[in-house]
Amino acid sequence: MFVCVLNSINQHNIVIMIEAPEALYIAEQMNQTIQGKRITFVTAGYTPHKFAWFYGNPENYGNMLTGKIFGITHAYGGLLETDIEDSRLLLGDGVNLRYFKPGDKIPDKHQLLIGFEDESFLTGSVRMYGGILCFPADSFECSFTPYRDSAKNKPQVMSDAFNLDYFLTLINSDEKQKKTAKAFLATEQTIPGLGNGVLQDILFNARLHPKTRINTLTDNQKENLFHCVKSTLKEIYQAGGRNSETDLFGKKGNYFPILSKDTCGKPCPVCGEAIRKENYMGGSIYYCFECQK
């Protein structure tokens, strides 16, 4: 059920979730700020939310986590997963996380509240939809399992393991040849954590139209696309994420996308042509007609 809903929502390309650069940035903030703290209480599912998913009964989360040490957080694509001794806490890409200092006021609404022994606390709130999944480290069986496995086991797009050779095996595989650049990059979890949010600027930087067929690309264009994936994501990460997203402390990112609903109709920064929007694959694409042939 989870994956079905997820897929149908993803097809609408709702751009309100963190992607790989933000996940990495937030994971690092969590490791600097929360890692090593002992958990004193947990409340999950406090504010009802139709599209908040839990692993089993959220009332059990307290039993699973209380008294344990909040360990290292990993970014898997756009997902965040924390080791909490013999348990794991997996947060989907549609969950807003926020850290609060001792003495701060607890927000009225949340789907996850974790208190620590120094009286600081972490909240998670689901935006459109999102999973807050707590489970034993050695067993995770639900409809979200393939999604997590794929995000966790493939080379992370921002890591050195995601190199040109790996990218070329992806883009040169038979099944990808008839796909468009957008479909190749941002669907089917081909590159976990690369979604519609960061896609537009990658293609702009690569000077490729989103509808360009993969089998029409030259070797140089493929290599250039790889470098644009890397450099664009790095730039977003170094800016602390996109401006539409917030970090662990509620601060907006400093990356302002070149192509987005906010820049649609405005002049392209390179050629001055108005930035266009089109509906495509059940969602929106933005592009410059001059720069992205």
Contacts with Zn ion, residue ranges (CB under 5 A) = 268, 270-271, 273, 288, 290-291
The residue among 72 and 274 lying less far from Zn ion, judged by its C-beta, is 274
The residue among 98 and 211 lying less far from Zn ion, judged by its C-beta, is 211
Beta-ladder partners of 182: none
Nearest distance from C-beta of residue 271 to Zn ion, angstroms = 3
The residue among 110 and 209 lying less far from Zn ion, judged by its C-beta, is 209
Nearest distance from C-beta of residue 204 to Zn ion, angstroms = 8
Per-residue tokens: 175: 């099944």
The residue among 83 and 273 lying less far from Zn ion, judged by its C-beta, is 273
Tell me which residue has its CB nearest to Zn ion. Answer: 268
CB 81 within 8 A of CB 91: yes
3-state helix, strand, coil split of the chain in percent (to 5) is 30, 25, 45
CA distance 81 to 23: 10
Concatenated DSSP letters of 2-63: HHHHHHHHHTTT---S--HHHHHHHHHHHHHHTTTPBEEEEEES-S--TTEEESS-GGGHHH
- 130-136 vs 52-54, strand pairing mode: parallel
The residue among 129 and 287 lying less far from Zn ion, judged by its C-beta, is 287
CA distance 226 to 206: 9
H-run or E-run covering 98: strand 95-100
The residue among 225 and 268 lying less far from Zn ion, judged by its C-beta, is 268
Q: In b/e form, how buried is each residue of 238-260, taking b as 16+ CB within 10 angstroms?
A: eebbbebbbbbeeeebebebbbb
Per-residue tokens: 37: 């703290």
Nearest distance from C-beta of residue 201 to Zn ion, angstroms = 13
Nearest distance from C-beta of residue 260 to Zn ion, angstroms = 15
Nearest distance from C-beta of residue 267 to Zn ion, angstroms = 8
Nearest distance from C-beta of residue 259 to Zn ion, angstroms = 10
